[in-house]
Structure 1
């Protein structure tokens, strides 16, 4: 037998074996269990920005806001009814000084030799003016702003920041987060021997200073925005608190290695629970007390990402991790983006100096945000990890499956189905009596898990100026007696089970700042495959768990 023919035969046999995986039978109970009560709003997904590069993304002044960023944010904002969540903070803000008199520019970098993961700035009220300007162009947003806790001798600077933020942003200011990763202050040489027990009274000191200056009348504040070194619980007899955490499954702070460049880690649902549940005890306790918990920053690899962070594998993983957080008592999640050319960024201008140019690069995690923006219901949703195909226990499983109970968690509304397979589609069988007479679904796909640019959501790809290009595709399948949803490999599908009764997909053109010749179309295809809490601060305390 000729060698070439033999190789072809082997390849064909392997492909047939891959394609022969049995369908996944969907089991989606009619109601969530008593423990599955975490209702998330339809603005569950937000975006987190590093302060030090904010002007290169949002523009230097209110009259020079990049049209590409307007469209990137507008695409997500259009897919939710509640205000789009935006966080500005990070290490950059925690290292920076607020200058109330700096009114001719948003910010200026103060240390050209600074470590790239901790870039200090001086910044002023133009920051809040630009945020207001973006709100006016894109639509309702709610802003979360970080306040530095690094220098205990300069808490008055945080008061000045809070004062201008409240005055300029008004009701658009959702919260102030006190400190950024204070659990790393000691290890990074910022404050020797700093502990959670030292952080607790400093919260009270900062709050007292703000209140004595007439601030915090609505008391939107939170913390500790920890990532790594502290585990936090909340004692049951104390007041409510907005709790903020941030976490990455891997980091490249000391360079690339086998662990942070291993794409296979991000291609199985089996790893997601360990990542999301790193402080499960504290999160669950907060939930029991009615305290919202924010995953205020997440992405694939901390300290700028690695070779996998810009791939379609990262897109699917960020969706999986985000949904798992929603199923694990988090109230909201924020995908993080930073300065130009960071690998996990959601978007990049051509250069830091040319944000007004239309030729931006769209990062693969942006498609995660697009997908997640259509998952939850206008009346709130409960997200449940269905764990089908043994995906929670079997590291060889290549699927992730979520059920979304809409209308405040009272009725089955959607399915989110992820297929991590690189070469083969996977069928998901929906039984009778799970849906209406028909279902509608949209597909997220790319040619390969390592693809970085040719990614489509509902038939559309983001092109120049942040504009979704292509005909918007929604697939309709008869399903009264059950049906099969084919999810391409690699890919994901979002299935609306009662499209004539429950939430609808966003349809239409979400472009805020169109080019002269831009247009968008919509079609429905047939398929043969069948509020932040008000916080009392008199007794705020976090306990080391």
Structure 2
């Protein structure tokens, strides 16, 4: 957040330089200005517009997280689905066959690649990034908690050191030349863990961590030793082995490496784990985290769970529905995928259904073993996602449907992955360091999915879900009934189509209870509805949840913008029905009681102020009364907490519950300095 920013003249001029825009299947705008406000309007300021109409991978030169690739939404199916249909549900969960197991509000969580923790979470344990806190707290206050994993490929070779230069807690030591994905080797200090603990002192965040698995003769268990001691009850568990079915393909094991080899290596891990007296809890491991090259059944067939059950707190898999790896790592066996052909595959109910169905046997086995079953890492496509798909409203609707389908299929959680600024699927992305003086963060469209799902799940941890397959099972118009404490509470409705004319908006007529269920009529006098909306499935910025937005690219500080708009729809109790319209495209969350809506919608969401100043040598004094009206920051409460600022104290304070800070960096070049004040 920026109360006062100090920029050099060249920095100011850099703001008005427009980037190229690539448009696939041009849909109405003449040009698209990436710097425009989140209004959905076009502008003629872009310097060049490339109209790409031929198939093939897109070309862009900017960071993938901020690409300007747009694709025409798929046409309306022919014949189109019915726009009027009925859905009947029972009031009591006891009458609904096929309900999921009880689910927690924190079902939709996040997976942060370990190598980018210092970009997203904080600079160190005493300087936490305010947008991260605000965004995570939006989810935590609706879901009751937010579950976050810090790990991924980079956890496998990570090692803990006592200290790093300049007080850093994370260092990308060098790239592993033996790995075709060029994964960096990470050195980290325990200040990483203190940072996570300090986040949990401010918001209800719980953490998954990863134990390195690259050296089975010398397991490095320091992250478990220190993690247990520092995080305590905020630690959910340790993943041991990340995608072991890809070890051979990534040259980390012989090409003959298979599930029984993995079984043997896990025996070595559990022996080391059991023998380590500095790890007090011995049943905190998560496995096997296979990615689809092996099926989980191939691991179960080794007797894995029976052999290691005392050490396992949860079972897990990782899966992306597709990949965009060929663009980065050319491979004749995996040619580049055409985004124009991939796009329609994400705008269908079958996308999530087909993926989840593959794991129904394993989720059933997990229940028999008494273990949670996690989708430990997922997103739209591995290797960074597809520009124009992963960073559009397409991913928002896909993310809602996919998460609800996983819950319906008895997964117990799903973690959506973050990479760096070179990927397009991030739930949110920190501003590039060299632009932090005049830009803010960027929310990815899939982050709105997490908010929708958090409110759909609620906080009671009793939620049960069922896929209703309405409209004769049409894959463009899915719906889920949601029960809480044994009673019908909410319904989620999705419309995957894009039609600005409104002709393919649909109206669902919902019947609750009644004689067909051998129950009294259950429709209330009215229902509340929250809408998740965008002008088209190709929209990147102008996305709203209940009328509010977090902002367009480079505009996000984690605070809602605009007035909340919750619709009230009158129902017909005589006919026991409520009619709810769902725009094309969009999703609706329907609350069948005020209590069901109020329980997940905090009247206010706690936000966090900026409390650190950096690079103060070239600043000027501002009247506190003026500053107090700028961007939510009171001048009288602004203090220096230390860090790497000139004259600052050592930043490696090892205490929890500290005040968060975010650096307002400036472009300090010789020349004339201007003061940019932003008022909202």
Give me the TM-score of the superposition, normalised by structure 2.
0.69
Once the two structures are TM-superposed, the CA of residue 117 in structure 1 deviates from its matched residue by 6.2
Other-structure match for 1:293 = 373
Once the two structures are TM-superposed, the CA of residue 218 in structure 1 deviates from its matched residue by 5.7
- The alpha-carbon distance between structure 1 residues 451 and 316, as it changes in their structure 2 partners (threshold 3 A), is same
Other-structure match for 2:350 = 270
In 2, the alpha carbon distance for the partners of 1:52 and 1:109 equals 7
1:81-480 equivalence runs, <5 A: 81=144, 83-102=145-164, 104-111=167-174, 118-137=183-202, 139-155=203-219, 157=220, 159-192=221-254, 193-214=256-277, 215-217=279-281, 219-233=283-297, 234=300, 239=309, 241=312, 242-255=314-327, 256-258=336-338, 262-307=342-387, 308-352=389-433, 359-379=440-460, 380-391=462-473, 394=474, 397-407=475-485, 410-423=486-499, 424-431=504-511, 433-463=521-551, 464-479=556-571, 480=573
Larger mean Cα displacement after TM superposition, 62-71 or 175-184: 62-71
In 2, the alpha carbon distance for the partners of 1:170 and 1:514 equals 27
- Find the residue that maps to 1:444 and give its secondary structure: strand
> Is the 2:113–2:153 Cα contact (8 Å) retained in structure 1?
yes
Larger mean Cα displacement after TM superposition, 277-286 or 442-451: 277-286
1:71-82 equivalence runs, <5 A: 71-81=134-144
- The alpha-carbon distance between structure 1 residues 148 and 352, as it changes in their structure 2 partners (threshold 3 A), is farther
In 1, the alpha carbon distance for the partners of 2:436 and 2:225 equals 29
Other-structure match for 2:90 = 29
Once the two structures are TM-superposed, the CA of residue 507 in structure 1 deviates from its matched residue by 3.5
In 2, the alpha carbon distance for the partners of 1:457 and 1:96 equals 39
- Find the residue that maps to 2:457 and give its secondary structure: coil
| Counterpart check, 1:510 vs 2:586 | no
- Find the residue that maps to 2:604 and give its secondary structure: coil
- Find the residue that maps to 1:249 and give its secondary structure: coil
- The alpha-carbon distance between structure 1 residues 398 and 20, as it changes in their structure 2 partners (threshold 3 A), is closer
In 2, the alpha carbon distance for the partners of 1:491 and 1:359 equals 27
In 2, the alpha carbon distance for the partners of 1:272 and 1:338 equals 22
1:10-89 equivalence runs, <5 A: 21-30=82-91, 31=93, 33=96, 35-81=98-144, 83-89=145-151
- Find the residue that maps to 1:251 and give its secondary structure: coil
Once the two structures are TM-superposed, the CA of residue 51 in structure 1 deviates from its matched residue by 0.4
In 1, the alpha carbon distance for the partners of 2:437 and 2:357 equals 40
Larger mean Cα displacement after TM superposition, 504-513 or 424-433: 504-513
RMSD between aligned alpha carbons? 2.6
> Is the 1:90–1:146 Cα contact (8 Å) retained in structure 2?
yes
In 2, the alpha carbon distance for the partners of 1:141 and 1:125 equals 18
In 2, the alpha carbon distance for the partners of 1:146 and 1:260 equals 36
The aligned length equals 496
In 1, the alpha carbon distance for the partners of 2:533 and 2:567 equals 14
> Is the 2:505–2:583 Cα contact (8 Å) retained in structure 1?
yes
Once the two structures are TM-superposed, the CA of residue 27 in structure 1 deviates from its matched residue by 2.1
Once the two structures are TM-superposed, the CA of residue 401 in structure 1 deviates from its matched residue by 0.6
In 1, the alpha carbon distance for the partners of 2:399 and 2:217 equals 39
In 2, the alpha carbon distance for the partners of 1:167 and 1:514 equals 29
Specify every segment of 5 or more residues in structure 1 that has no aligned partner in the other structure, as ranges.
Answer: 1-13, 520-545
In 1, the alpha carbon distance for the partners of 2:291 and 2:117 equals 22
Other-structure match for 2:586 = 491
> Is the 1:128–1:169 Cα contact (8 Å) retained in structure 2?
yes
In 1, the alpha carbon distance for the partners of 2:439 and 2:524 equals 43
Once the two structures are TM-superposed, the CA of residue 299 in structure 1 deviates from its matched residue by 0.7
In 2, the alpha carbon distance for the partners of 1:262 and 1:403 equals 29
Other-structure match for 1:531 = none
Once the two structures are TM-superposed, the CA of residue 499 in structure 1 deviates from its matched residue by 2.1
In 1, the alpha carbon distance for the partners of 2:79 and 2:594 equals 33
Deviations 1:59-96 (A, max 9, x none): 22122211111111111111122x31011111111232
- The alpha-carbon distance between structure 1 residues 369 and 261, as it changes in their structure 2 partners (threshold 3 A), is farther
Specify every segment of 5 or more residues in structure 2 that has no aligned partner in the other structure, as ranges.
Answer: 1-74, 328-335, 513-520, 611-627, 633-680
In 1, the alpha carbon distance for the partners of 2:370 and 2:175 equals 44
> Is the 2:151–2:209 Cα contact (8 Å) retained in structure 1?
yes
> Is the 1:443–1:458 Cα contact (8 Å) retained in structure 2?
yes
- Find the residue that maps to 1:26 and give its secondary structure: strand
Once the two structures are TM-superposed, the CA of residue 216 in structure 1 deviates from its matched residue by 4.3
- Find the residue that maps to 1:219 and give its secondary structure: coil
In 2, the alpha carbon distance for the partners of 1:76 and 1:275 equals 25
Once the two structures are TM-superposed, the CA of residue 173 in structure 1 deviates from its matched residue by 1.0
- The alpha-carbon distance between structure 1 residues 218 and 406, as it changes in their structure 2 partners (threshold 3 A), is farther
- Find the residue that maps to 1:429 and give its secondary structure: strand
Larger mean Cα displacement after TM superposition, 268-277 or 349-358: 349-358
In 2, the alpha carbon distance for the partners of 1:418 and 1:518 equals 36
